Amino acid sequence: MVAVFAKCKVVGGKEKIFVDLAHELAEKSRAESANVSYDILSEIDKDNGEFFFLEKWKDKAGLDEHMATDHFKNIIAEVQKIIEGELEIHVYEAI
Amino acid sequence: MVAVFAKCKVVGGKEKIFVDLAHELAEKSRAESANVSYDILSEIDKDNGEFFFLEKWKDKAGLDEHMATDHFKNIIAEVQKIIEGELEIHVYEAI
């Protein structure tokens, strides 16, 4: 299993647009055969515009296939228009 | 659903002890009724002594119960003897 934990800070006022985009990406990603789980998170008791993608994939090949899909590329392109800086992405493997 | 993402840096030479403790905690935690998933991770392609706990719980009450268990308290106490500094713990909620 590989896991992705990605963080972004959404521009003030764009939170609703972000959440809708993130939920659309989550739904389409969960339908991929290599997906284990896909969650959109915020840190508990914080309201600072930071949101997180928590994803689990069967293996690195499945994650690579996901990042080549149209839904990933198109929705992330939209997300990048409404966040400050870049998505901060880390990839992990289960040990 | 609430998620925990916790990071620690293991003292050099203590990695095997850490991994055994972490796997024991994972196995006992997965047996709790409020647990959704419990994974021990390292960042892919890095070998820097950093390890991560990625946990999902049905709700905050289930996480609170987990943190009151003997296996959590006893194993974390052992982990704290072989890490640099403190466990860096963040708690998230699905949105």
Provide the token pair at B44. 């892919």
DSSP A32: S
pLDDT in tens, A46-61: 989 999 999 999 999 9
3-state secondary structure of B33: coil
Q: Find the radius of gyration of the CA atoms of chain A.
A: 13
Task: Phi first, then psi: give them for residue A68, nearest 5 degrees.
Answer: -100, 0
Give the minimum alpha-carbon distance from A73 to chain B in angstroms, rounded to a whole number: 22
Residues A5, B1: C-beta atoms closer than 8 Å: no
DSSP secondary structure letter of residue A13: T
Residue of A1, A2, A4, A5 to mutate when probing chain B, most B C-beta within 10 A: A5
Q: Would you state the structure tokens that stand for residue A55, as one six-digit string?
A: 């994803």
> Which among B61, B58, B69 is positioned nearest to B24, based on CA atoms?
B69
CB contact under 8 A, B42 and A2: no
How far apart are the C-alpha atoms of B54 and A86, rounded to whole Å? 23
- The pLDDT tens digits along chain B (95 residues) read 999 999 999 999 999 999 999 999 999 999 999 999 999 999 998 989 999 999 999 999 999 999 999 999 999 999 999 999 999 999 999 99
Interface test with A, best of B20, B54, B92 (most A CBs within 10 A): B92
Phi first, then psi: give them for residue A25, nearest 5 degrees: -65, -40
Mean predicted confidence (pLDDT) in A31-45? 97
